């Protein structure tokens, strides 16, 4: 459980924050898909903050995949990430300006190749 919660925080940073820039379904986030949303499974955990919009085309799927890989790498190396409160505020409120600031301030790369 502790490992899953820690990993989800990294996924929020490397996948959730960038999704704010591509998925403009603000209403959905008020009901479902808030920062830190996950489900424990037999095989680990399932990140549930993204909407289906992030799987709408191959480019967006690559952004998600690369974000997941970066999150795992950063988690494994205990890379410093933005405060959870700020990440949660950006994701839960669909605050693109705060998301951009955190992405920039923490040098988060959004890869789509």
Distance CA 2, CA 92 (A): 22
pTM of structure: 0.93
Tokens 């704010």 — which residue? 20
Distance CA 101, CA 113 (A): 23
pLDDT of 37-88, one tens digit each?
999 998 889 999 999 999 999 999 999 999 999 999 999 999 999 999 999 9
User: Residues 78, 4: contact at Cβ < 8 Å?
Assistant: no
Domain ranges of the chain: 2-105
Distance CA 12, CA 99 (A): 11
């Amino acid at each position: 459980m502790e490992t899953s919660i820690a990993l989800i925080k990294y996924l929020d940073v490397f996948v959730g924050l960038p999704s704010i820039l591509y998925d403009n379904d603000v209403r959905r986030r008020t009901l479902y898909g808030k920062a830190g949303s996950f489900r424990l499974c037999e095989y680990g955990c399932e990140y549930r903050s993204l909407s289906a919009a992030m799987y709408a085309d191959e480019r967006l799927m690559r952004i998600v995949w690369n974000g997941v890989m970066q999150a795992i790498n950063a988690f494994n190396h205990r890379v410093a990430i933005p405060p959870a409160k700020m990440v949660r505020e950006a994701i839960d409120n669909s605050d693109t300006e705060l998301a951009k600031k955190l992405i920039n301030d923490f040098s988060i790369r959004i890869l789509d190749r």
